[in-house]
Each structure stands twice: as C-alpha cells, then as structure tokens.
Chain A
Amino acid sequence: MPPVPAVQVTDLCYTYSQSAQFVIDIKDWTLNKGEGIFLYGPSGCGKSTLLNLLAGVLKPTAGEIRLLGEDFSKLKNRQRDKFRAQHIGVVFQQFNLIHYLSVLDNLLLATKFSGTRVNKDEISHLVTELQLSVDIFNRKASQLSVGQQQRVAIARALINKPELLIVDEPTSALDEDARDSFMQLLVSLTQTFGCTLIFVSHDKTLAKYFHTRVNFTELNQGVMPNVS
C-alpha cells in the first residue's frame, strides 16, 4: 500500500469573486509526507492565495484538496478550523503573535484551539531548541525583537506537532544573520518533527535549504497578473 500523501490537489480552481484578473488552476499536485518544498514565484502570482487554500482559510471555487487523506475542501467551516488547529502549523511574514499576550499565553492559546495537552517541559524544550531563553515566557509578545517573534512563531506553529507546516515569507523582516539562523532552525526542527513543509519565498537564495523547489508559475495553469 502506497503511503498517504500529505497534500493532494486535484483540478483546483480559485478566483477572488469572479475576477478574471487572477485565477489559480492546478490540475494535479502531490506532496509526500515529510517532504519539504521551496515554493517561489514573482510577487502577486498567487503563492499566498494557494497557502490560504491549503490552510482552509479560503475555499476552492472548484476541485479538491486532500490533506493527510482527508477531503479537506469538503469539510464544514468549523471542522476545517478544527483540522487547521490540529494538523497545520502556520508562520507568516510578520505579526504572528497576539501582541498583548505573553509568549507563554500565545503558545498555550494554540493548544487550546487544537485541544491538545502539552506540558510545560515540552514547551520549554521547544523554546530552548529555538535558542530562546526561557525567561521570555512571561514577556509580552510586543516586547520581543522581530527575530525573537519569528522564532516564537515557529514554536507556536510546532506546538501541536502538526503534520503540515505552512510558512509564508517568514524572513523578509529579518536581517541576513537572523535569516540564516532562522532557516537552519526551521529546517532542522521540521526534520525532527517529521512534518511536511511548504515554504514560500521570492528570495531564491533560500532555496539552498530545500531539496525540492517548485516554481509557482509552472505549477499554476491559470491567469496570473503581469508575471514576467
């Protein structure tokens, strides 16, 4: 029996409210479990839109998205939210944390929505792995540097041990050194957790961290605005 793929997209079609300016159209795309891919493409080509579809925040206009064998796009809204809480970790460009909550509360909040129990040792372990000191736990998220915030964001995304990690341009607010250490941590942690990673960036220098690279403009058969 072949292993269940992490992501399986069939005849996926998406447009923002009938606008013909931009159409996502992906015939067939499969991602195996544990695989890490680097998804790149010019600005405005639709990478973030695809991630929103995979995370279930947007609903496909037509076609099917299967995640971990589940027909994700057919789930009810509430079930999709629950599925996301339990199986998908998300890190985006900036503002990943709720600024008025402490770091610890930010992490705990993620476990509340997924309903998973995580003990404090596991959290401190994760945080030290991310080269953060444990004493930032009680600091408000708004009091962290951007680099610290992005690392806490990885911890937040991984705390429920998700099968799928979706990362959208997480380094664009970081300087070069911070970017490299961030990338190393991200890649090594996803390997230890064994999760499937979809990493989006238009910064091709980051491609070196990945075996598989996917050019979005080749993946998408639909209309993309001024893609050059």
Chain B
Amino acid sequence: MLVKLAFESLKSRSSSVILTLLSIIISVALLITVEHVRLEAKNSFNRTISGVDLIVGARTGQINVLLYSVFRVGSASNVMSWESYQELKSNPMVAWSAPISLGDSHHGHSVIGTTKDYFEHYKYGNKQPLTFSSGDVFNDIFGAVVGADVAAENNYKVGDKIVLSHGTGHVSFSHHDQAPFHVTGILKSTGTPVDQTIHVSLQGLNAVHLSKTALSKVVEAYNNKQHVDLPESGINAVFLGLSSPIASLQIQRKVNTYEKEALSAIIPGVALNELWQLIGMVENLLLVIAFMILIASILGLSTMLLASMRERHHEFAVLRAIGAGPLVIFGMIQIEALLLAFTGAVLALLVVWLGLHLSSSYLSEHFGLFIDTNIFHANTFILFAIVMLVTCFIAFIPAISAYRTALHTGLSK
C-alpha cells in the first residue's frame, strides 16, 4: 500500500525523479564497474602464469621482465646471450626451460619465438596447460601456433599463411613477406595474453631477421625439405621450471650474481604481487572516488525529496486526516528514496552488464585485460546492499523533515 503510494507520488513528479534516477544510475554503474574491473583485473593478473618457477632475462626491474615476457607489453630492449641460456639450462636443478624471443608482430598481435617446451610446460590459471583446439605444435622452422583470439579475429585455420611484421604495433612498414609462415595449430582460449599471441619457432624468428639473400637461401632449402642450419642468436627471456621449489631462491641468486652477463631472475608470483600493488593503489583510489560520487548522487536524491516537502503539505494533511500517523509519512519518504535507489541500481547493473558485453573484446585486445562479463557475483550484491543502506541512511534527512511537517500539519493547511 505504502509502496504504491510512494510509487504514484514519484510518478507524479517524474521530471525531477528521472533526473535523480539518472544520477543514481551513473554513480552506481561507476561503482559496480570499478569494483568489478578491480576484481577481474586481479583475477586476470594472477591467472596469467602458473607453474613457472623463475623467469630470467637481461638485467632490468622485475616488473619490466614480467611485463614483456608474460604480458607482452613494452619492449624487451635487452638481450640475453644464447651461451648464458645454455649454461643455465644445463644446471641440474633446472627441470625444464622455455626460451622466448620477442619484437615482431602480426596485425597488432605480438609474435614470440620459442621452442616446443613452451607448449608443454607453460601453465596458466590453476596450473592448466595450453591445449589445442585444432592442429598441433610446429614441427619445422616456419610453423606457427596462434592464440584463440588471433585465430578468431583473422579466421585462421590450420594451413593458412601468415606474414609477420617487424616491430610491434598495428601499422608496420617492414613486413617479413618472404618467410613462408603457416598455421600449424590453434590454441584453446585461456583468458590470458596467450590468446593474443602468435608462437613461432626460435629459428624461424631468427631466419626472418637474416639478410635478404641469406633468408632466401633458407627458404629455398626449406622448400626443398633440406636441413637448414641457422646460427643461434640471443633471446629475451626464459621461463624455468626447477626440480624443487626450494631451488628457486638458489638459482635466483646465482643468476643475479652471474658474472659473464648482467641478468635478472624473477619469481613470477612475487613480481605479479608487486605489479598488482602498483595498479591496486590506483584502483583503490578509483573505488574511493566512485563511493564519493555515489554519496553525492544519493545526497542529490535526498535534496530532491527535501525540496518537494513544501509542495507536499496538502498531501501530508490529507494523509493525516484519514488517519496516517507521522511515522507512516516518514516511512513513505524512506520508501520513495529506496524505490528510487533500487530502480537506479537495477538499471545500473543492466547498463554495466551491457557495457561489458560490448567492450570486453576491446579491453582484452588493447589492454590484455580479460574481464568476465558476468557481474552477478557476491561483491556486486554486497555493493547493491551498501547502496541501499547508504540511501536508507541519507534519506533520514528528508524523512525526518517530513515526519516533523506531518506532526505539525493541521488538517486544513
């Protein structure tokens, strides 16, 4: 009954109510988005790599190593020599190793050169291995394994030819169009930067950076199915699996104090944490700002209700006359506020849900952020409850004002 009364009353003041509703939708949507993206980003972060004990690269900060080797963001300017890699690999505590070499791209997706070990040992999420939706690992120097998003975007099938470009970025003027790269396998979606990556063999990547004449010789030999010997060149990073987890610190120290070359070894979990703290700070700040905006918009709601008090004198007088106590009028104002906040919050959920559906592919492509479009989880509902609580609290201001008005409203005023 009171709900119907409150609803009709709001309907009769539709213009100011709609404006207020809009401000609530915007602020709640903002809050839900910030919180959802925060959670998802953290999730997405922690999912990117698992089962790798150490990442070794030329000496630089640990976040930098993590960014270029795992997230394929930024550029690996320093190179680690092939000899250092061989020495590291031969260490008895190293169970497996997967070298990677970066710097080329394909339609804006990064290309990494690696070995078969990468597909066997690289894990993501909860120690999940990479699996193929079709095809298999490359067996020759010009084979390529593409990530799920790359395949979907370009409609690649096993056997398709691809041309790598020198340097990173969408627009590159130097294409390695001589090298006959072709798709040998397509990976299943992982929700990590792997989906955005093209994997080729280290030799293949080395070959395209040879001089034109040298490359054509290699291609000729390849086409004639002859064995080609390619000089090994430096790599950008190497993922290591160790025989025992305790070995991590030992190897890390060994690498960091290696004398022939300046190298860094990072523990992915530690580096991820540091990176997260950096980003998390910004995200916490965003969350605080979003909360402030929410409070501002609910204060706006209360102001709207408060401003309507004078014009509602008659309404209260009528309600009093037919036997409504001032508490009923207090309740009516509260219900109006909650009804507005509830409607606003529900619409905001819808807006965010739609927005995420429309932008998730863009985010994953351009920022490596894998945002789950399902926002209906516990945190969202906690936020929802907080919105209602804050509204209930702030709506005390107009509700008490209405209570007082009702208490002192005579019948005929």
Write the residues of chain A forming the contact surface with B, with a CB cutoff of 8 angstroms: 48-49, 51-52, 55, 57-58, 77-78, 81-82, 84-86, 90, 92-93, 95-101, 105, 109-110, 112-114, 156, 166, 168-169
Contacts and interface: CB of A to CB of B under 8 A. Distances in A.
A96 B325 contact: no
A156 B323 CA distance: 12
A99 B323 contact: no
Nearest to A112: B1
B318 A97 contact: yes
A168 B411 CA distance: 9
B378 to A, nearest CB: 38
30 contacts: A48-B412, A51-B411, A52-B411, A55-B321, A55-B411, A57-B409, A77-B325, A77-B326, A78-B327, A81-B320, A81-B324, A81-B325, A85-B324, A90-B321, A90-B322, A90-B411, A95-B317, A96-B321, A97-B318, A98-B319, A99-B314, A99-B315, A100-B11, A101-B8, A110-B323, A114-B323, A166-B411, A168-B411, A168-B412, A169-B412
A11 to B, nearest CB: 22
A85 B11 contact: no
A101 B319 CA distance: 12
B61 interface: no
Given A81-B324, A98-B318, A109-B5, A93 B412 contact: yes
A118 to B, nearest CB: 13
B12 interface: yes
B5 to A, nearest CB: 7
Nearest to B412: A92
Nearest to B313: A95
Nearest to B410: A52
A51 B410 CA distance: 9
A100 B12 contact: yes
Contacts of B315: 98-99
Contacts of B5: 98, 101, 109
B12 A48 contact: no
A51 B412 CA distance: 9
Interface in B1-17: 1, 4-5, 8-9, 11-12
A110 B322 contact: yes
Nearest to A91: B321
Contacts of A92: 317, 321, 411-412
A95 B314 contact: yes
A77 B327 CA distance: 10
A90 B324 CA distance: 13
Given A97-B318, A100-B8, A58 B410 contact: yes
A44 B361 CA distance: 73
Contacts of B325: 77-78, 81
Interface residues of B, number: 25
B42 to A, nearest CB: 48
Nearest to B9: A100
What does DSSP make chain A's interface, helix, strand, loop or mixed? helix
Interface string B319-358: 1111111111000000000000000000000000000000
Nearest to B321: A90
A98 B409 CA distance: 15
Contacts of A51: 411-412
Nearest to A101: B8
List of 6 A-B pairs having minimum Cβ-Cβ separation, nearest first = A85-B323, A100-B12, A113-B323, A95-B314, A92-B412, A81-B325
Interface in B283-321: 314-315, 317-321
B389 to A, nearest CB: 27
Contacts of A168: 411-412
Contacts of B4: 105
Contacts of B326: 77
Contacts of A96: 318, 321
Given A48-B412, A77-B325, A57 B318 contact: no
A156 B322 contact: yes
A4 to B, nearest CB: 22
B412 A82 contact: no
B318 A82 contact: no
Nearest to A114: B323
Nearest to B325: A81
Nearest to A96: B318
A184 to B, nearest CB: 23
A95 B319 CA distance: 11
Interface centre among A48, A49, A82, A100 (most CB of B within 10 A): A100
A156 B318 CA distance: 11
Nearest to B322: A110
A95 B411 contact: no
A140 to B, nearest CB: 9
Given A93-B412, A98-B318, 15 more contacts: A48-B410, A48-B412, A51-B412, A52-B411, A58-B410, A78-B325, A81-B320, A85-B323, A90-B322, A95-B314, A98-B319, A110-B323, A114-B322, A114-B323, A168-B412
A64 to B, nearest CB: 21
Contacts of B321: 55, 57, 84, 90, 92, 96
A214 to B, nearest CB: 18
Given A48-B410, A48-B412, A78-B325, A57 B320 contact: yes
A55 B8 CA distance: 27
